[in-house]
Structure 1
Amino acid sequence: MNSIHPTAQLIGEVTLGSGNLIGPLVVIIGPVTIGDDNWIGTGAVIGAPPEVRSWQHPMDAAGLDTGKGIVIGDRNVIREYVQIHQGWHDITRVGNDVFLMNQSYIAHDCTVEDRATLASSVLLAGHVRVGVGANLGLGSSVHQRCYIAEGAMVGMGSVVTRNVPPFAKAYGNPARVHGANVVGMERAEIPAGTIGAAVSTYALPFDDALESLVGAAGLERALAGWLRHGTE
């Protein structure tokens, strides 16, 4: 069973799992697939066309459900007035246990992986990827095609114009790495020796220093993600 407020609008091909709450004035425009036990707050808009100048915006309300689609997993919290746009070249994806605070924005073709947090008014441009457990602070913005790697923390108000490596702290305009996210690593139960190595590593220019963390216990998945997405 899903709880859908009577003022919410589900348009086109929208597929829901079970246990979802869809609040007042929510608009969902397919193609959208949503899993189980998600909480979607007042005024969220999920499935508007990609914001691309060359996109042929439909002039008939019956044709609003266009795009490559959106897939949202399970147990996510999507707060008031969040916007998630349709994919342009690929599906826009939100994983599981993600927390999207009010007025955050996920553009076309983005991927937000499991347990990531976007604070209020975070802006993701097109094709951005946010890794597992990453945390983006209030009002930060991310340039298109950037990768925020697993466990990274981005400070409030930051402007991210380049990839942020795993379990790093980055802040500023433009954002730069300023050490390791020790608290995030401890919460991820990464061994103390690896945490110490990361603290030393992120005191150096990370483009060179990341090589020293290859093989460090507890960072295997994060570094594999970096090699796939962060070096593009």
Structure 2
Amino acid sequence: MANIHPTAIVDPKAELDDGVTIGPYTLVGPHVKIGAGTTVAGHVVIEGHTTLGRDNRIFQFASVGAANQDKKYKGEPCELVVGDRNTIREFCTLHIGTVQDKAVTRIGNDNWIMAYVHVAHDCIVGDHTTLANNATMAGHVEIGDWVTVGGLTGIHQFVKIGAHSMIGFASAVSQDVPPFMLVDGNPLAVRGINVVGLRRREFSAERIGAVRHMHKLLYRENRTLESAREAIGEFARSAPEASAEVAMMSAFLAGATRGIAR
């Protein structure tokens, strides 16, 4: 059975699996579902059509599933869906989606979401990300797996951030960031590849070499984006050991809508 502190207010329509812990003075609304093993500290508000998976940890004063900050929102039953084993620290704000998009904000598994992070409406956050203190996402942002976002970073609406990339402290992100890149600054600039992150994830020397080569094609040969895309496609045939990385980069560049960070 769920362990609910006597001062918490949990709507009887909320669905709490076995092993859920609800701390003092926390509010859980009627359309909330919380998976087994999730721990919610005191003074948390979980509302809206919100689904939390298993074994999440939500720290005090977080606001989860609140109405979005889109002026067009008229109270439609949009959603927030959070996966498993996420850590959500103090004062985070995670909002539901809007009907102008997919009507859902989605956060994956095993994410480390630090204090004061804001995840706006219709954002998609992958798995194994680290979002440092005060990282702020506008609406419709997409963040790939294994991304690290530095503290005090702002991300413009509709921006896409590719997997395995890293954004440095206090950056202003207004263009798409390709996978594997290391970027920072205001204006944002690409500094190289996220080699430390790739090594930590046990990328082989050959795979890291392939990522370096794609970085060279994109940023070191004065190519247009279209020319770089074609060159990366040609490179795929000569680097079968890095086929997954090349395919990821090619797909990302094909779907970039705001131009890429330079």
Using the size of structure 2 for normalisation, the TM-score is: 0.79
Q: CA deviation at 1:228?
A: 6.5
Residue in 1 that maps onto 2:93: 83
1:221 and 1:105, CA in 2 relative to 1: closer, same or farther beyond 3 A? Answer: farther
Q: CA deviation at 1:177?
A: 1.4
What is the one-letter code of the residue matched to 1:108?
Answer: H
1:56-114 CA-partner distances (Å, limit 9, x unpaired): 36xxxxxxxx5410100000000000000110132100000001000000000000000
Following superposition of structure 1 onto structure 2, how do residues 28-47 of structure 1 map, counting pairs within 5 Å?
A: 28-47=46-65
Corresponding residue SS for 2:106? strand
Residue in 2 that maps onto 1:183: 196
Residues 35 and 73 of structure 1 are in contact (CA less than 8 Å); yes or no, is this contact kept in structure 2? yes
Residue in 2 that maps onto 1:173: 186
Percent sequence identity is: 35
Looking at both structures, which has the greater relative contact order when contacts are Cα pairs under 8 Å and sequence separation is at least 6?
1
1:188 and 1:224, CA in 2 relative to 1: closer, same or farther beyond 3 A? Answer: farther
Rounded to whole Å, the distance in 2 between the matches of 1:29 and 1:220 is: 41
Rounded to whole Å, the distance in 2 between the matches of 1:209 and 1:192 is: 23
Q: CA deviation at 1:226?
A: 1.5
- Quote the RMSD (CA, aligned, Å): 2.0
Work out the number of aligned pairs and report it: 224
Structure 2 residue runs of 5 or longer lacking an equivalent are 1-18, 220-224
Residues 61 and 90 of structure 2 are in contact (CA less than 8 Å); yes or no, is this contact kept in structure 1? yes
Structure 1 residue 226 and structure 2 residue 239: aligned? no
Following superposition of structure 1 onto structure 2, how do residues 106-125 of structure 1 map, counting pairs within 5 Å?
A: 106-125=119-138
Residues 148 and 167 of structure 2 are in contact (CA less than 8 Å); yes or no, is this contact kept in structure 1? yes
Corresponding residue SS for 2:33? strand
